[in-house]
Amino acid sequence: MASSSHHEGFGGRPLWAEIDLDALAYNVQALKGQASGAALAAVVKANAYGHGAIAIARAVLEAGAERLAVICVDEGEQLRRAGLGAPILVMGHSPISDARRIVQLRLTPTVNSQEMAVALAAAASEEGVNQPIHLKLDSGLSRYGLLPQELISLAESIQHLSPLVVEGLFTHFASADEEDKSFVLQQFKLFLEVAERLPWISIRHVSNTASLLDMPEISLDLVRPGIGIYGCYPSRWVNKGLKLRPVFTLKSRIARLTRLLPGQCVSYGRTWTAPRLSLIALVMCGYGDGLPRSLSNRGSVLVRGQRAPIVGRVCMDMCMADVTDIPNVAVDDEVVLIGRQEEGNIPVEEIAELCDTINYEILCGIAARVPRVYMREGRVVGSETLVQGLSAVGVGAS
């Protein structure tokens, strides 16, 4: 195992993401403290928002999460194959053809139809197990889920469909991360009206990170924070009184330094021309790794704690930075593309704003080929690369 300062041993090029498991555990516990005694389902869909689903799932359970939440059966299967035994809620649509697999993997699906309920019940009967399911109310997001009357009808028709257990009822807010909470309250009111009609469903849940931060009083039985676990806030409007700690840092090293004469150009399309004698650093990170191409001639990286502008077009596999003004810069110097270095900081929110998107998209876009290096107390405790599965050295128990 390489030391925390040199990760080239994790792959053929100097690029890696450092995932701070201490910060992750802190965030889980802080959010749990907000939840008015409700259980916590950690949302680890989309490869745990780019952080690495298996290592993150282990670490959040160790930190006190009771459940995991994913979007599809494949994500649930990935966690089960890794030996994780906690309840896993599949929040998205699952086709009827997946019913048997869901039962065999002991996943908790979100059921949207009588046909799916019947298929799950049949598969569970054959396997000789009880099968928990959740129902989702479309309370105004107009995306997935059933309208109030449809949901009540489905719930009542499958209430006694053994061995199915209608364990949970949930909805998802459309605008919980906005300043105006009136639509959230409207959705919540509708949800409670439906829940009152189905008092036999034991687990009710509505809260995402935004509502957990701003409206902890609506935590009900279970909360499902996603972005907050990773130390990010859902928007600039949510209450930041709970100090979350960023978990993700994206690092590389200077692979080459090139001196350019005034008038020489950099990268595809020759969009940047040296205005003076310039020193250009080659950094092995591009849009194929998840560094947005729209940072071309706009973004920055950190070298020796100082900002260096990204110059020329970001390529698929690399980008260039102007390090002319950084004293003593050298090949192999560490480069931070997202996160802190000494006094410098490039938060993921800054990158999202430059790219006219949200922090979620930037994190989820970090490609699988970027090695994930898991840290505790500043030391490497595990890593995962394209060619080497998770080495779970102290990354938490299953």
| Residues classed as catalytic | 45, 268
Contact 159, 165 (CB under 8 A): no
Q: What is the DSSP string of 287-331?
A: TTTT--GGGTTT-EEEETTEEEEEES---SS-EEEE-TTSTT--T
Q: What is the CA radius of gyration of the chain?
A: 23
> Looking at residue 172, what DSSP letter applies?
-
Q: Nearest 5°: CA angle at 291, between 26 and 47?
A: 45
> Looking at residue 98, what DSSP letter applies?
G
10 Å Cβ neighbour count for 324?
18
**The pair of three-digit structure tokens given for residue 59, joined into one six-digit string:** 């670490």
Pure H helices in 171-313: 182-197, 209-214
Burial of 359 (0-12, 13-18, 19+ CB in 10 A): buried
Contact 169, 198 (CB under 8 A): yes
Burial of 349 (0-12, 13-18, 19+ CB in 10 A): middle
Burial 183-192 (b: 16+ CB within 10 A, else e): bbeebbebbe
